[in-house]
Structure 1
Amino acid sequence: MNSKQVAETFGLSVDTLRYYERVGVIPPVARDENGYRNYQTNDLNWIFLAKSLRSAGLSIESLIEFAALAKLSETQNVSGAQKQILADQLEETEKKINEMIQIRSLLQYKLDTYDEHLDKFKTGELTPDNVEKLWELKEYTKK
């Protein structure tokens, strides 16, 4: 598969693919007799993994480290270090998911009570001084 096809497949620019290869986020890609990159399934897996981990918040530096460890794994046992990078990112992703679930609940609550709160403000039952303190509501605070 050529660079343009890969870029279209993964929603990346050709420049991003080249950058990932240049800095070591993905291993070097084989080239054909004309010098054009010829992406194989393993290359595509690396690109998919890199894109996914970047979307999850993993830094370029950590991706480079992960790829460098993969290269070292040909001669050394570094699987523990690679697994730790993945485990750390999984933990971060779980935290973000939990935060997003709380935010979703808050948004749903605000939508569900929006008209009711407006009515109470109009009648004077609620004022800026006697409204609920959202940050103190158990279901919307970080745990």
Structure 2
Amino acid sequence: MTRKRRRLTILLLALLSLGAATALVLAAFDDNLVFFYSPSQLGEAGLPPERLVRIGGLVVEESVEKGPGSRVAFRITDTAVEVPVVYEGILPDLFREGQGVVAQGRLQPDGSFRAVEVLAKHDENYMPPEVAEAIKQSGEWRPAAGGEPEAGYASQ
């Protein structure tokens, strides 16, 4: 094998290795990427059932139903669309009807949402920024005394 051919072989192997490493990194990144949707956007997104996503909105008044064990069902709204959510676990202490929450989980074929994690707001002035934007777009925005929402979540 000539010197020129050996260099070309090494260069091709290095490029092939770099391409394989890049493909593995991008595949791992895609698996860990979690998108946020408002209830209105969730129906339009056409998500596959195995896709992990976050939805956020306000917990609909009088929609929380406690089931057997630690199962809880409730509805989340952005004032335009309501999405039924089922969660198996302990809800955060700050979870309340009429308050902002974000649920992470998967959309079910029947249109309900199976949550694996529920995050609640920190104080009465807080609303997830994405939810606040969706409510502003619907024309139902009623800011608190401070005006704009504050950042922060409490997890269980």
TM-score, normalised to structure 1, is 0.29
Tell me which protein shows more helix as a share of its residues.
Answer: 1
Larger RCO: 1 or 2 (CA < 8 Å, sep 6+): 2
Tell me which protein shows more strand as a share of its residues.
Answer: 2
Which protein has the larger Cα radius of gyration, Structure 1 or Structure 2? 1
